[in-house]
Amino acid sequence: MKKTTILKFVATLLCLALCASSVMALSNGLFAAKKVAASDLDDVKQEKEDKEQQRKDVQKKMDEYKASAQDTKEYMAILDAQMSELNGSLYELQIKMEDLNTQIDETTQNLEAAQEDAASQYEMMKLRIKFMYEHNEESYLALILTSESMGEMLNRAEYVTKISSYDRDMLTKYEETIKYIAEAKQQLEDDYTELADTQSQLESQRDELAQMQAEKESELANYNSLIASSKAQETELSSDISGLTSEIERIERELEEQNRNNNNNNGGNSGGSTGIPSTGVFLWPTISRRITSDYGDTDGRNNPHIGIDIGATTPGVWGDPIYAADGGRVVRAEYNWSAGNWLWIDHGNGLYSIYMHCSQFLVSVGQTVNRGDTIALMGSTGESTGAHLHFSVRYGGTYVNPWGYLR
């Protein structure tokens, strides 16, 4: 019984030992996994640069879509103006056609009235002619017998002749009136037909314009959809870039911490890892004092400015000297798509000065520099709109206000 108890106790101890060993191994593995290397930083930076390039491509495409959409809007405005003018012409044409219809109706009524008057006059003339024909001899005999004088008889004979002449003149006049009204009516009908043809042509043009407007509206909707899609991609990429920036800062802080720990383990020195005493007070980094964008500036930016932009002595001209703000060691001198040629100086104890958009490096990585040494020349490389120096300061893995160090 005792032997069995002892064996169980020994087995329990062995299990505990194995568990402890496993935990220690897992713990060591986790701690090892947490340790970062410069290659990790390079990988994340490369991924960030790839994302930034993708964002630039998306922004370029979005700008193209916006330009095309604006062109479409301007063309639609022209079509709208043409449609408005066309509708105005059709409206005026409709008014004219209605007026012609009214005139045609009035002319038709006048023609019918003239025809009735002519017919009435003709009937009256026929009656008088018939009467005079049937009573011709009696009429002349009556004129002779009833006339008291030769003059009166001649006057009566002339009166009968004038009545006959009046009838003929009136008939001729009515016939001319009928002809005139009939010709006027025909002219009005011809004018109406011409206006109707013009109306048909304008309506056809309006239909074509309406079709073009519909096509342009569809085109604009498509561009707006593409712009919205590009905007969503840009937002997603910006979020990714922000996350990668945070990851870069985390890795840099860990690398800086590892460097400090290594220096402490190696005995350290008064200036941190550089071997050169750092005063902590920075020299103005170039000959120009013309500030074009201050720290924290948000004008035209998605995020606050993380440094100070110092314009060239002569605007737009490259080549102004750039000085080391303080003693230290060059830890980076390379090209970045956004910062252009940028240079980092490690001043020890987690403090760095950074110089962007250089046209040329005058020092190399690993080189130690003294306060005031010329380290580069001013330029406009990377994302830059003119010759200038972007001067930044990092402390503890975070960008800080340079004015706190400049004197």
Residue 323 in this model has a pLDDT that exceeds 60: yes
pLDDT higher than threshold 70 for residue 170? yes
pLDDT: which is higher, 219 or 303: 219
Cα 176 from Cα 110, distance rounded (Å): 13
The sign of the dihedral angle between the CA atoms of 61, 62, 63, 69 is positive
CB neighbours of 127 closer than 8 A, spacing ≥ 6?
Answer: none
Q: Which residues contact 133 (CB under 8 A, 6 or more apart)?
A: none
Closest to 272 (Cα-Cα) out of 200, 334, 350: 350
Average pLDDT over residues 226-241: 89
Taking the C-alpha atoms of residue 186 and residue 59, their distance in angstroms, rounded to an integer, is: 68
What's the whole-number average pLDDT of the chain? 80
- For residues 343 and 15, give the distance between their C-alpha atoms in angstroms, rounded to a whole number: 56
pLDDT at 326 over 80: yes
3-state SS assignment for residue 376: strand
Cβ neighbours for 82, distance < 8 A, ≥ 6 positions apart:
209
User: Which part of the chain has CATH 1.10.287.950?
Assistant: 52-233
Alpha carbons 348 and 325: distance in angstroms, whole number: 13
Instruction: Calculate mean pLDDT across residues 75-93.
Output: 89
Q: Are 75 and 216 in contact (CB under 8 A)?
A: yes
Residues 6+ apart with CB under 8 A from 301: none
The alpha-helical segments, DSSP class H, found in 135-149 are 136-146
Query: CA 381 → CA 51, 247, 366, distances in Å?
Result: 19, 25, 23
Is it the case that residue 202 has pLDDT exceeding 90? no
Range(s) of the chain covered by CATH 2.70.70.10: 272-404
Instruction: Give residue 321's pLDDT.
Output: 97
Q: Could you tell me if 167 and 121 are in contact, meaning their C-beta atoms sit under 8 angstroms apart?
A: yes
- Beta carbons within 8 Å of 259's beta carbon, 6+ residues apart: 273
Q: pLDDT band at residue 350, thresholds of 50, 70 and 90?
A: confident
Hunting for tokens 């026929």 — which residue is that?
Answer: 126
Q: Predicted confidence band at 269 (pLDDT cuts at 50, 70, 90)? A: very low
Q: Name every residue whose Cβ is closer than 8 Å to that of residue 59 and which is 6 or more positions away in sequence.
A: 230, 234
For range 229-243, the mean pLDDT: 88
What does each C-alpha distance from 286 to 65, 209, 233 come to in angstroms?
A: 42, 63, 39
Assess whether pLDDT exceeds 90 at residue 355: yes
Superfamily of domain 272-404: Glucose Permease (Domain IIA) (2.70.70.10)
- pLDDT for res 248: 80
Q: What is the pLDDT of residues 291-305, one digit of tens each?
A: 999 999 988 777 889
pLDDT, average across residues 328-341: 90
Between CA 147 and CA 153, with CA 151 as vertex, the angle to 5 degrees is 35
Of 314, 328, 372, 363, nearest in space to 342 by CA: 363
Q: Can you tell me the distance from the alpha carbon of 78 to that of 85, in angstroms, rounded to the nearest whole number? A: 11
* Reported confidence tier of residue 128, pLDDT bands at 50, 70, 90: low
The average pLDDT across 164-179 equals: 75
pLDDT at position 251: 78
Check pLDDT > 80 for residue 175.
no
* Cα–Cα distances in angstroms (integers) from residue 99 to residues 56, 92, 240, 360, in the given order: 64, 11, 71, 83
Q: Are 351 and 338 in contact (CB under 8 A)?
A: no
CB 217, CB 76: distance < 8 Å:
yes
% of the chain exceeding 90 in pLDDT:
32
CATH of domain 52-233: 1.10.287.950
User: Highest mean pLDDT range out of 180-184, 334-338, 386-390?
Assistant: 386-390
The set of long-range contacts for 297-303, using a CB threshold of 8 Å and a minimum separation of 24, is 302/238
More confident residue, 134 or 22: 134
Quick check: 362 pLDDT over 50? Answer: yes
Q: Which SS3 state, helix, strand or coil, does residue 407 take?
A: coil
Span 126-132, mean pLDDT? 66
pLDDT, position 284: 97
Burial class (CB in 10 A: 0-12, 13-18, 19+), 159: exposed
**pLDDT category, 31, cuts 50, 70, 90?**
very low
Whether the predicted pLDDT of 178 surpasses 50: yes
pLDDT at 39: 66
Banded pLDDT at 156 (limits 50, 70, 90): low
Lowest mean pLDDT among 193-202, 315-324, 352-361, 384-393: 193-202
